[in-house]
Structure 1
Amino acid sequence: MRNRKLYGDTPGIVFVVYAILSISSLLMFGPFLPVIATSLKSYSELMLRPFSIIPQKVLWRNYLEVFQTIPLLEYLWNTAKVSFLCTGGVLTTSSMAAYAFARLRFPGKNVLFVLYLATMMVPGQITLVPVFILMRNFRLIDTHASLILPIWGLMGAYGTFLLRQFFLTIPRDLEEAAILDGCGYLGRFCRIILPLSRPALATLGIFTLLSVWNNYLYPLVFLNTPAKRTLTLGLAMFRGDVDVQWNLLMAGTIVSILPMVVAFLAAQRYFVEGITLTGLKG
């Protein structure tokens, strides 16, 4: 019924749309097929038949062997700790700043907001050296704080912009009713704005989580101790002196991807809703 309302009663149009979506999905999933196939091959088969998609013998033990070869659980824990702490920090500070820019009135608000957004125009690679000097002066080199704080700052402006646009779509009548009931700024923020902004918060949370989880540059620059490595750095360092065990490396890559797939599927409804509604003022 919904497809008829959207595309009419012509079944050919519906078929073409679904065909295009199916082909696009296959094209998007295509690059993962060699990764999955490689993770299930033996090392000898990989050397003899590197371009075959279907393994002659499926070896699920590669996924167990990669945990025995490298401290993958330790890398997973380090990555999860950094990612969730950074994501929580970004959601907290960005939502508070966005509420101030969307609802409060103070001198220079628009100018300050433009300057705040201007920081998004500066690539993180340009600020890497100053950030490294700051982390060294604060004695945070080779700690996970040196990963959390810079990325937290980089994602703050984007998160503030995203949430501000969503907060502007929330009717002011709800806050005015809360004011009549004696609710202050903090009460209105926690009881009205945040519960109604779950789609935008989920969207920002997924974006931040993916950015931190897949970050490679900052762990490479700031971390020295092997026990403190994240997944991206640990898998990149999983190389022999002469050759690389690509089957185990691809197995570790699949393991590193799975948590993000689960997180996206869990928040998919809020994620799609947040992308749809953000920036629409009604």
Structure 2
Amino acid sequence: MAVASSHQRLTTWLRFILAAVAAVVMVLPFVIMMSTSFKPQTLILEMPPELIPSEPTGRNYREAWTESSFAVYFANSLYVALSTTFVVLLLSSMMAYAFARFDFPGKKVAFVALLGGLMIPGIITIVPAFVLAKNLNLLDSLNGLTLFYSGGAVAFMTFLLRGFFEKVPIALDEAMTIDGAGAVRRFLHLYLPLSRPALATAAIFTFLGAWDEFVWALTVINDPGKRTLPVAIAALQGQRATEWGLVFAASAIAIIPVIVVYVIAQRQFMAGATAGAVKD
């Protein structure tokens, strides 16, 4: 018994140490970014580095927000991310509902084709996607970004939501059908309310994907006034290669909406992320 107890304590301590190391590895870059964003330019490369600046300043944040039309880029990214999230949730929830509760010709083939699209890396399709965007006059267009971001996210979100919709008790569906509820009413008043955790999870993933996307925005946006934040921050770094305080301040501003979205939907997101972990 003593040997078993000692072994258990050792295992617990090892898990604690590994978790602590992993936490430090993940948090340290963020701490360095925030620390550097409050340092004046003359102290950024000081040795040894200070995690808590001895002379903190908000100058980097003021310059990041007021210079180089940063507020415009912020608004562009917010518009694209929010509109993409709305379109993806609307389309994927309806498609997931159809795949989960209706039988129609070609259902299995369509779903397999949907999953097959997830296996193709997006970078492989960037050239034909660019040609398509050019032919549709969607270059230098925020709505064009929304359209292509939505097309890239709908398949996975449909797959995610379909699993949740299938868990809705069929007896509730049949009861509403007997009461005269049509497919649209059942979708709005039964499936969507019971699948809020899944919808919150899909919303967060979609928002983050659209907010952080860089390659496609860099490819199709040439107008400086239509840039999104990732492209704008990359351009800022190129113009001010040594002003890391300014670059990190811009990056810190860029993560504010991500934190806000996660805090608002945290409870539903955690419920959605853990759903299915315990089998009924």
How high is the TM-score relative to the length of structure 1? 0.89
State yes or no: 1:94 paired with 2:99.
no
2:251 corresponds to which residue?
253
Q: 1:281 Cα shift?
A: 7.5
State how far apart, in whole Å, the 2-side matches of 1:50 and 1:74 are: 37
- Stretch deviating more after TM superposition (140-149 or 170-179): 140-149
Say whether the 8 Å CA contact 1:165–1:279 is kept in structure 2. Answer: no
Query: Which whole-Å deviations, capped at 9, do the CAs of 1:25-67 have from their partners, x for residues lacking one?
Result: 3332111121111111111112444844232311123211211
- Stretch deviating more after TM superposition (43-52 or 77-86): 43-52
Say whether the 8 Å CA contact 1:162–1:278 is kept in structure 2. Answer: no
- In the comparison of the two structures, how many residue pairs are matched? 273
Instruction: Say which SS state the counterpart of residue 168 (structure 1) adopts.
Output: helix
1:80 corresponds to which residue?
78
Q: 1:210 Cα shift?
A: 0.5
2:5 corresponds to which residue?
none
Q: 1:217 Cα shift?
A: 0.6
Amino acid at match of 1:216: F
Instruction: Say which SS state the counterpart of residue 236 (structure 2) adopts.
Output: coil
Instruction: Say which SS state the counterpart of residue 31 (structure 1) adopts.
Output: helix
Instruction: Say which SS state the counterpart of residue 163 (structure 2) adopts.
Output: helix
State how far apart, in whole Å, the 1-side matches of 2:240 and 2:247 are: 15
1:269 corresponds to which residue?
267
2:135 corresponds to which residue?
137
Q: 1:23 Cα shift?
A: 4.6
State yes or no: 1:211 paired with 2:209.
yes
1:4 corresponds to which residue?
none
Say whether the 8 Å CA contact 1:79–1:231 is kept in structure 2. Answer: yes
Choose from 114, 121, 124 the match for 1:116.
114
State how far apart, in whole Å, the 1-side matches of 2:65 and 2:122 are: 33
Amino acid at match of 2:63: E
State how far apart, in whole Å, the 2-side matches of 1:40 and 1:12 are: 41
> What is the identity percentage for the equivalent residue pairs of Structure 1 and Structure 2?
38
Say whether the 8 Å CA contact 1:169–1:280 is kept in structure 2. Answer: no
Alignment of 1:85-234 (within 5 A): 85-234=83-232
Q: 1:16 Cα shift?
A: 7.6
Q: 1:240 Cα shift?
A: 5.5
Query: Structure 1 residues 255, 164: CA separation in 2 closer, same or farther (over 3 Å shift)?
Result: same
Q: 1:21 Cα shift?
A: 4.6
Say whether the 8 Å CA contact 1:90–1:155 is kept in structure 2. Answer: yes
For structure 1, the 5+ residue unaligned runs are 1-9
1:46 corresponds to which residue?
44
Query: Structure 1 residues 96, 240: CA separation in 2 closer, same or farther (over 3 Å shift)?
Result: closer
For structure 2, the 5+ residue unaligned runs are 1-7
- Stretch deviating more after TM superposition (166-175 or 30-39): 30-39
State how far apart, in whole Å, the 1-side matches of 2:20 and 2:95 are: 41
Choose from 235, 238, 242 the match for 1:237.
235
Q: 1:150 Cα shift?
A: 1.3
State how far apart, in whole Å, the 2-side matches of 1:240 and 1:108 are: 51
Instruction: Say which SS state the counterpart of residue 237 (structure 1) adopts.
Output: helix
State how far apart, in whole Å, the 1-side matches of 2:278 and 2:220 are: 40
Q: 1:20 Cα shift?
A: 5.6
How high is the TM-score relative to the length of structure 2? 0.90
| Superposition RMSD in Å | 2.3
Query: Which whole-Å deviations, capped at 9, do the CAs of 1:199-252 have from their partners, x for residues lacking one?
Result: 000000000100110000111001111111111001110146574311011001
Say whether the 8 Å CA contact 1:166–1:280 is kept in structure 2. Answer: no
